[in-house]
């Protein structure tokens, strides 16, 4: 008997399996098609029923609403005709007119009883006052604040219109108001008739529609899609528009009724919606049923039918499956062996197999690619040919101990390739066991992790070291500072933190380029490291900021301070030594500002220690830079006081803790011609905080901008009040504007807005600028001043003579007035040079046709001397101190 070869048997089995599979697929396809046809038919029937039911309910609801709205329309027309008829017969305001209104009131009350859907029926005059009402509350109220009244008065149209959903003023209920204007013979607005339709009356109608637990019944505006009412009720969405609602878009396109299926944006529920627009009124109704609910029965039917079909098919296919499994078992075994061989050979990781004597039996292609050794080079050899002596002996000892226990070992080898290059290898080595547990071979799966370790090292470098200087960054410094504090707690020895900032480093970057700055930073980093011990930490915190952490200064605090001072001196010398940056000007000499604090014990916290060093560094900068300062409690107190003042200043800026005082400006006859507005700040106890304390802080923190905006607005409001009074109509108000406020991009716009908001004559507003305003971009400054001049605002140069006082910029800048600083005014009588400066300023102003105001005039002698020199305007304590506006009236009597 001839045996059929194994490959032939496998081929025949495969053909038989394919035939059986085709037969099974035909049966499954036939049954599946019948099931699909049944389910499709039932699905369409369900959908048609849902659409028809929703459409019918939408039509019924629309009919009910149309009836109610038609009653509103007819009632409004009825009341309007009676009201206008009464006005045509009787003169408004006459006794007969009053009797007609009372008669009309009775009609309105009867109409309200006969119209239960109406919350209120009102007749109002052109001022919104109620003339007749169906409410028992009477007629002593008005609706002038209602938007629909204002709209009707602004654009009266002889037609019924409807308001958005609102809460009525009498009984507070949601309502839609239908209203018609009362028009005079010439079409002028004479009031309106308003009927508030109670939406609660229709809630029972909406809730009575069985749309399911997830269903929705709603009424919307057909002109803008705003929601009028909805069941279930969602008050926060009332009057909310939904312009993307598909039914709304269809109605806008001219379709009066229909069905749409979509997912609601509000709750994510898919529904089938029937919609219908009301005939003659700007509303449409929407009845939506959730698809999941309406098709629940259909899904149950589908599940039962599918289950029965699946069970039948499963029984039919069960016998075939058993036979097919037995036939496929042999083929799968062969395939598994072939796949395993291919997987090992084509694995991207090196794989080798050794016998129990550690002789290599097999290596894959990846092993050859990574090591450079071919299979012929290593078969029969020990894997130690890869060992270049870099792997510790303990690794091999642990390897054989683990394998001896029959366990899997995982570890790293420092191996050598055939070309002599080294690489790091992660290996997993496992014993291959027979059924009885005996080990026959070992398999090793390896991975070259050299690039991964290099990447990890690079990430570590980037995470904790500065890329420019190679120094530890802020994160690593922070960690080492914490460790230093813990070590200090254990040993009792002091440590120090030193912060070093390179003075004027930005100027070097701006003038010589960032490359020169980078060279300086690298050189200083090298010098700082060379000056300190290897165990000390030098870190770059950012830009030109360095930090030094030194431990082991000793247990005695005085000696530790002396040691810290010596270290600071050494670092100072290292930084200030000339540095060659390749500049044409020669070696560059930098100076540092240094802040130091000394710490000891666990009572110190890293945040507090670093803050103390920052306070000391800040003090070094305040003292003119190029200085070394140790932290002291006095410094901390000053910083705390400044921080507290800044916090109070910010609160006052938000809560309005400022007041304006006004100091008079007089002419040579002593008449008040204006005032300078000066900001004052009072604490909660009523004590005034000196402007010398908070104005510089406001400048530094940027709060001067919102404070200045408030001063400008308040001064303009006061100027408006003065311009309305005949006695003070010509008074001016001068407002001080800081350089930071003046250079805000929207400053001119803010001035224009204040002028327009307070409706002032801009020629009465004077903006005082100091010479610091013009420093920098002169062209931009001139353009901004010209824009202010175009508004009609006057410009004054404050404190003239104390700054640069360049005649070139004075010629270009469009000032109207100069103010002589008080230091020259007060020294005129005793100091000839001050008197000469004043005379020069007055002569200069006359030649440039500028007004001059002398500030700080405190006595008659100064006043008389200024008069003899030709000064026309004065300001100072001689004429009045700054006073709040409440006390200004006493001074204003001197004006004229």
The pLDDT tens digits of the residues spanning 794-838 come to 999 887 766 555 566 677 888 999 888 888 888 787 778 888 888
Lowest mean pLDDT among 639-643, 689-693, 768-772: 639-643
pLDDT at 805: 53
pLDDT at 522: 94
Residue 660 per-residue DSSP state: E
Alpha-carbon gap, residue 29 to 630, rounded angstroms: 90
User: Does the predicted TM-score (pTM) go above 0.75?
Assistant: no
CA dihedral 755, 759, 761, 765 (to 10 degrees): -40
The pLDDT of residue 536 is above 90: yes
In the block, which residue shows the tokens 């609602």? Answer: 245
pLDDT at 679: 93
695-738 tens-digit pLDDT: 888 888 889 999 999 999 999 999 999 999 888 899 999 999 99
548-557 tens-digit pLDDT: 999 999 888 8
Alpha-carbon gap, residue 197 to 117, rounded angstroms: 6
What tokens appear for 647 in the block? 């916090």
Alpha-carbon gap, residue 261 to 277, rounded angstroms: 17
pLDDT at 286: 92
For range 229-239, the mean pLDDT: 88
The pLDDT of residue 601 is above 90: no
428-455 tens-digit pLDDT: 988 988 888 888 899 989 888 888 877 7
For range 3-7, the mean pLDDT: 49
136-149 tens-digit pLDDT: 766 678 888 888 89
Find out whether 671 and 896 touch, Cβ atoms under 8 Å.
yes
Q: How confident is the model at residue 12 (pLDDT cuts 50, 70, 90)?
A: low
CA dihedral 814, 815, 816, 818 (to 10 degrees): -160
- 625 three-state secondary structure: coil
Alpha-carbon gap, residue 306 to 298, rounded angstroms: 12
For range 576-602, the mean pLDDT: 89
Write out the DSSP string of 474-534: HHHHHHHHHHHHHHHHHH---EEEEEEEETTHHHHHHHH-HHHHHHHHHHHHHHHHHHS-T
Closest CA to 685 of 662, 710, 657, 707: 657
For range 521-542, the mean pLDDT: 93
The pLDDT of residue 615 is above 50: yes
More confident residue, 158 or 677: 677
- 118 three-state secondary structure: strand
Q: How confident is the model at residue 876 (pLDDT cuts 50, 70, 90)?
A: very high
pLDDT at 719: 94
pLDDT at 775: 63
The pLDDT of residue 330 is above 70: no
**Residue 243 backbone phi and psi in degrees, to 5:** -65, -20
3-state secondary structure 61-115: HHHHHHHHHHHHHHHHHHHHHHHHHHHHHCCCCCHHHHHHHHHHHHHHHHHHHHC
The pLDDT of residue 653 is above 80: yes
Strands 765-769 and 794-800 come out as: parallel
Alpha-carbon gap, residue 497 to 748, rounded angstroms: 48
pLDDT at 93: 65
pLDDT at 3: 45
For range 63-83, the mean pLDDT: 84
pLDDT at 323: 65
Mean pLDDT of the chain: 85
pLDDT at 296: 81
655-678 tens-digit pLDDT: 888 999 999 999 999 899 999 999
Alpha-carbon gap, residue 79 to 131, rounded angstroms: 12
Cβ-in-10-Å burial (0-12, 13-18, 19+) of 688 comes to exposed
**Residue 260 backbone phi and psi in degrees, to 5:** -140, 145
Find out whether 821 and 802 touch, Cβ atoms under 8 Å.
yes
Alpha-carbon gap, residue 500 to 861, rounded angstroms: 55
- Beta bridge mates, 284: 220, 277
The Cα diameter of the chain in Å comes to 148
For range 413-421, the mean pLDDT: 87
Q: How confident is the model at residue 896 (pLDDT cuts 50, 70, 90)?
A: very low
Q: Number of C-alpha atoms within 13 angstroms, CB side, residue 621?
A: 13
Find out whether 118 and 105 touch, Cβ atoms under 8 Å.
no
35-60 tens-digit pLDDT: 888 888 888 888 888 889 889 988 98
Q: How confident is the model at residue 95 (pLDDT cuts 50, 70, 90)?
A: confident
More confident residue, 756 or 585: 756
- 1 three-state secondary structure: coil
CA distances (Å), origin 73, targets 80, 84, 240: 11, 16, 25
């Amino acid at each position: 008997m001839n045996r059929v070869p194994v490959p032939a048997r496998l081929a025949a089995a495969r053909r038989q399996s394919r035939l059986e599979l085709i037969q099974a697929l035909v049966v499954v396809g036939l049954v599946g098609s019948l099931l699909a046809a049944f389910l499709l038919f039932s699905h369409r029937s369900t959908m048609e029923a849902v659409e028809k039911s929703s459409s019918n309910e939408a039509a019924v609801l629309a009919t009910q609403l149309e009836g109610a709205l038609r009653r509103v329309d007819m009632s409004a027309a009825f009341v309007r005709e009676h009201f206008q008829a009464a006005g045509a017969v009787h003169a408004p305001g006459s006794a007969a007119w009053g009797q007609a209104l009372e008669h009309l009131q009775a009609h309105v009350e009867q109409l309200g009883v006969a119209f239960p859907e109406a919350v209120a029926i009102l007749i109002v005059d052109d001022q919104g006052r109620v003339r007749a009402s169906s409410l028992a509350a009477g007629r002593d109220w008005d609706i002038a604040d209602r938007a629909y009244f204002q709209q009707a008065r602004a654009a009266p149209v002889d037609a019924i219109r409807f308001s958005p959903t609102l809460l009525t003023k009498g009984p507070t209920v949601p309502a839609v108001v239908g209203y018609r204007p009362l028009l005079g013979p010439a079409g002028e607005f004479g009031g309106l008739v308003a009927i508030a339709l109670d939406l609660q009356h229709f809630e029972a109608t909406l809730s009575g529609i069985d749309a399911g637990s997830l269903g929705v019944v709603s009424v919307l505006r057909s002109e803008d899609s705003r929601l009028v009412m909805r069941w279930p009720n969602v008050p926060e969405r009332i009057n909310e528009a939904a312009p993307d609602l598909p039914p709304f878009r269809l109605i806008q396109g001219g379709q009066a009724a229909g069905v749409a299926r979509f997912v609601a944006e509000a709750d994510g529920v898919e529904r089938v919606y029937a919609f219908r627009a009301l005939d003659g009124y700007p509303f449409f109704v929407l009845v939506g049923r959730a698809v999941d609910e309406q098709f629940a029965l259909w899904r149950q039917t589908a599940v039962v039918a599918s289950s029965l079909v699946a069970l039948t098919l499963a029984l039919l296919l069960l016998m075939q499956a058993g036979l097919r499994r037995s036939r496929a078992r042999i083929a799968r075994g062969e395939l598994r062996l072939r796949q395993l061989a291919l997987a090992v050979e084509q694995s991207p990781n090196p794989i080798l197999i050794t016998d129990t004597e550690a002789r290599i039996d097999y290596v894959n292609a990846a092993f050859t690619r990574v090591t450079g050794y071919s299979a012929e080079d290593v078969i029969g050899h020990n894997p130690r040919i890869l060992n270049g002596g870099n792997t510790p002996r303990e690794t091999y000892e642990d390897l054989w101990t683990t394998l001896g226990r029959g366990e899997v070992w995982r570890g790293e080898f420092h191996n050598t390739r055939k070309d002599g290059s080294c690489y790091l290898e992660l290996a997993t080595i496992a014993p291959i066991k027979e059924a009885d547990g005996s080990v026959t071979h070992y398999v090793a799966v390896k991975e070259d992790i050299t690039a991964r370790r290099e990447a990890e090292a690079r990430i570590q470098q980037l995470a904790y070291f500065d890329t420019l200087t190679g120094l530890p960054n802020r994160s690593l410094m922070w960690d080492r500072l914490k460790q230093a504090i813990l070590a200090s707690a254990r040993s009792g020895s002091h440590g120090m933190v030193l912060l070093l900032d390179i003075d004027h480093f930005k100027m070097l970057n701006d003038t010589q380029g960032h490359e020169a700055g980078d060279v300086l930073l690298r050189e200083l980093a090298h010098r700082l490291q060379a000056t300190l011990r290897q165990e000390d930490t030098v870190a770059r915190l950012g830009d030109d900021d360095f930090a030094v952490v030194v431990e082991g200064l000793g247990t005695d605090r005085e000696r530790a301070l002396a040691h810290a001072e010596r270290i600071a001196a050494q670092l100072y010398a290292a930084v200030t030594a000339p540095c060659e940056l390749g500049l044409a000007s020669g070696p560059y000499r930098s100076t540092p500002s240094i802040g130091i604090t000394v710490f000891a014990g666990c009572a110190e916290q890293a945040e507090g220690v670093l803050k103390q060093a920052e306070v000391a560094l800040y003090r070094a900068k305040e003292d003119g830079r190029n200085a070394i300062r140790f932290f002291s409690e006095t410094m901390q107190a000053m910083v705390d006081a400044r921080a507290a003042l800044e916090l109070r200043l910010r609160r006052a800026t938000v809560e309005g803790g400022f007041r304006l005082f006004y100091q008079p400006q007089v002419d040579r006859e002593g008449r008040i011609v204006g005032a300078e507005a000066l900001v004052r700040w009072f604490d909660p106890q009523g004590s005034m905080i000196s402007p010398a304390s908070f104005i510089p802080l406001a400048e530094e923190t940027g709060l001067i901008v919102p404070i200045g905006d408030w001063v400008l607005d308040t001064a303009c409001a006061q100027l408006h009040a003065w311009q309305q009074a005949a006695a003070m109509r010509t008074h001016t108000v001068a407002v001080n504007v800081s350089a930071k406020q003046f250079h805000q991009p929207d400053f001119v716009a803010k001035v224009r807005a204040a002028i327009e908001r307070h409706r002032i004559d801009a020629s009465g507003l004077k903006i005082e600028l100091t010479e610091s305003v013009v420093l920098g971009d002169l062209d931009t400054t001139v353009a901004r001043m010209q824009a202010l001049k175009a508004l009609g605002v006057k410009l004054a140069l404050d404190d003239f003579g104390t700054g640069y006082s360049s005649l070139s910029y004075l010629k270009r800048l469009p000032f109207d007035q100069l103010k002589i600083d008080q230091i020259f005014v007060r020294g005129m009588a005793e100091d000839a040079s001050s008197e000469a400066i004043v005379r020069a300023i007055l002569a200069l102003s006359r030649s440039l046709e500028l007004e001059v105001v002398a500030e700080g005039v405190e006595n008659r002698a100064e006043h008389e001397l200024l008069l003899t020199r030709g000064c026309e305007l004065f300001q100072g304590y001689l004429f009045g101190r700054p006073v709040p506006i409440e006390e200004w009236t006493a001074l204003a009597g001197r004006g004229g």
